[in-house]
Amino acid sequence: MFKIQRQIGLAILLLMPYSPISWAAAVPVAPPPVVQKKIEQPALQSIRYSIGPQKVRIVFNATTLPVVTANLQANPDQLVINFEGVVNQVSTAPLVFNDPIVSSLALSEVGADKQQVIINLTKTVTYKVFTLDNPNRVVIDIVKDLDEKNDEQIAPGVKYTSWLHAMPTGDFISANIVELSPEADYMLKPVLSNDAIRGLEKLQGMAGHNQALAAVNGSYFASNGEILGLLKIDGAVVSTSEVDRTTLGVLSTGKLLMDVTDYQGGVTLPDGRTIDITGVNHERGLDGLILYNNYFDDTTGTNEFGTDYSVSNGKIIGIAHGSVTIPPGGIVLSAHGTREKALAGLKVGDTIQVCQTLGDEWDKTIYAISAGPRLVKDGNVLVTSAEEQFPSDITVGRAPRTAVGVTKEGHVLLVVVDGRRKSSIGMTLTELAQFMQQLGAIDAMNLDGGGSSEMVVNGKTVNHPSDGPERSLGDALVIVPKN
C-alpha cells in the first residue's frame, strides 16, 4: 500500500512543471516602457507685414511670446530687434520692401535660442514694439517721420493749418489750427446756441448765422443748454460758474486777457440790505438767488417753490410763484429758501439796485468765456486741473481736445486735436499744453473737448469729431468781421 502511494506521489511531482498552476515564487514583471513626451521648443512660426502711408507694420507669429529688445542704430540707419528664448522656423531669406523708408529685413540666429532681426532704413524713424496673445504675436510698427502741414490763408490776417504729426511714441496726431492776426479785420468772440442759453445747436449752425469765418466749440454745458462757466456777451454777464476758473476776455481795444475770474453780484433792497446773487441764467437751487436776463429765454422756467421778482429799470413790476416772462431789457430775480425770506418784504413799485462785477479790469471786457483748466501761463506749461477742481473724465488720459491761446505778438490760436481714432489718438492736457507752447502761445487754456471738439472753417467741419456727426453745443468761439 505504501509503495503504491509513493508511486502516485512521484507521478504528481513529475507532472507539476506542466501544470497550469505554478507553485513556485512569482517572477517579477517589467513595467511598461515610459513614453517620453516630446516638448516643442518655442519658435517663430511666420512673418507678415503691411505698408501704409503712415507706418510699416511687421508681425511675427510665435508659439510662445519671446523676450524682445529693440534699439535704433545709425550709420547705417537700422532697427535691430532681438528675440530671446525662441528658435526660428521662418525663412531666413531677406525681405525687400517696396517702401521709401523701410528698405529690407534680415532674420538670423545669433545664439542658442536667440534670433535677431535687422530692419534697414533710409532715414531715422520712430518705432513701437509690443506683444499680443491669443494668438501670440510680436508686432513692430515703424512710424514714418510724418509731418504733413498744409497752410491756407482763408482771409487777410487769418491762416488755417491742418497738421498730421507723428509723435515720439509712434502714434499720430491730427491737429487743426486757425491763427488770427491782430491786424486782421476780424475779431474773436463767444456766441450762444440759437442766441439763447436754453437749447443746443450744432457748430455749423452757429457759424452760419453769425457769418463766422471760423469757429470752435466753447464752454462746458448742460443738456438743457445752460453754460457751465462764466460767459459775457456785449458787456452783459450771460452765465456764471460755481467754481472760479480760467477765462478768456476781450477788451474793446481787441486786447485779450486770460486769468481766473471771480463773479460777485448783489441786490440792494430799499432798506439798505444787500443780498448776494448766487448765479446768472442757471437753474435755481436750494437757498439760491438767480438773475435771469433776456439771454436766457423768454421765460424763467422756474417752479412754484420760490418767488420770482420781475424788474424793469430798477423797479419791481411783478411778483409771482413759478415761471414768468422775462421783461424786454429787464431781469427776473428768482429766490428760494433763506434768500426768498430776505426778499419777502419787496412789493411792486419798490426800487432795487443790482450790482455785478468781475473786478476792475474784467469789468472793461466786452466778451468773456471760461472753461479750463489753464494750460500755459507766461510762456510756461501750467496745467491747473486740481486748482480748478476738474474731474478725472476731463483731466485723465488722451482725448479729443480744443484750446485757445495767445502769442507774444497778440495772435489768437484756435486749436482742435482729434482723438479716439487710429489716425489721431488725442492728447493729454499736458501734451496739449506743450503743443500750444510749441505753436508759440504764451497763454493758453483748455475748452470743452471729447465729442464736442470741432472746428468749422468757411462753413465746413475740417476735423473729425469723435462722435461721428456734429454734436449739439451750448456755445462757441467764432472769428467774425470786426464790423
User: In this predicted model, what pLDDT tens digit does every residue of 465-475 receive, in sequence order?
Assistant: 999 999 999 99
Distances (CA, A) of 27 to 16, 21, 22, 32: 17, 14, 10, 16
Is 19 part of a structural domain of the chain? no
pLDDT at 52 (0 to 100): 84
Q: Cα separation of 293 and 44, whole Å?
A: 71
Is 410 part of a structural domain of the chain? yes
Give the domain-ending residue among 335, 357, 379: 357
pLDDT at 54 (0 to 100): 77
Query: HSE-up of 126 (CA within 13 Å, CB side)?
Result: 13
Residue 278 shares a structural domain with residue 371 = no
In the predicted model, what is the mean pLDDT of residues 224-234?
A: 97
Give the domain-ending residue among 338, 357, 376: 357
Is 150 part of a structural domain of the chain? no
Is 149 part of a structural domain of the chain? no
Residue 396 shares a structural domain with residue 469 = yes
Secondary structure tally for the chain: helices H, strands E? 5, 38
Q: Cα separation of 59 and 317, whole Å?
A: 76
pLDDT band at 35 (very low <50, low <70, confident <90, very high): low
Residue 226 shares a structural domain with residue 342 = no
pLDDT at 481 (0 to 100): 96
- For the purposes of burial, counting CB atoms within 10 Å of the CB of 204, is it exposed (0-12), middle (13-18) or buried (19 or more)? middle
Does 8 have pLDDT greater than 70? no
Contact assessment for residue 197 and residue 281, using Cβ atoms and an 8 Å cutoff:
yes
In the predicted model, what is the mean pLDDT of residues 357-363?
A: 97
Backbone angles phi, psi at 375, to 5 degrees: -115, -45
Residue 254 shares a structural domain with residue 270 = no
Residue 373 shares a structural domain with residue 476 = yes
pLDDT at 98 (0 to 100): 85
Residue 455 shares a structural domain with residue 331 = no
In the predicted model, what is the mean pLDDT of residues 247-273?
A: 96
Residue 86 shares a structural domain with residue 231 = no
Least confident residue range of 164-168, 273-277, 454-458: 164-168
Residue 403 shares a structural domain with residue 445 = yes
pLDDT at 144 (0 to 100): 76
Does 224 have pLDDT greater than 80? yes
Residue 240 shares a structural domain with residue 301 = no
Does 91 have pLDDT greater than 70? yes
pLDDT at 20 (0 to 100): 41
Average pLDDT, the chain: 90
In the predicted model, what is the mean pLDDT of residues 65-86?
A: 91
Is 124 part of a structural domain of the chain? yes
Residue 198 shares a structural domain with residue 92 = no
pLDDT at 431 (0 to 100): 95
Q: Please tell me the total count of domains within the chain.
A: 3
Residue 392 shares a structural domain with residue 245 = yes
Does 18 have pLDDT greater than 70? no
pLDDT at 150 (0 to 100): 94
Does 450 have pLDDT greater than 90? yes
Q: Cα separation of 15 and 354, whole Å?
A: 133
Give the domain-ending residue among 333, 357, 381: 357
pLDDT at 423 (0 to 100): 81
Tell me the residue range of the domain where 253 lies. Answer: 172-259+365-481
pLDDT band at 127 (very low <50, low <70, confident <90, very high): confident
Residue 372 shares a structural domain with residue 228 = yes
Is 233 part of a structural domain of the chain? yes
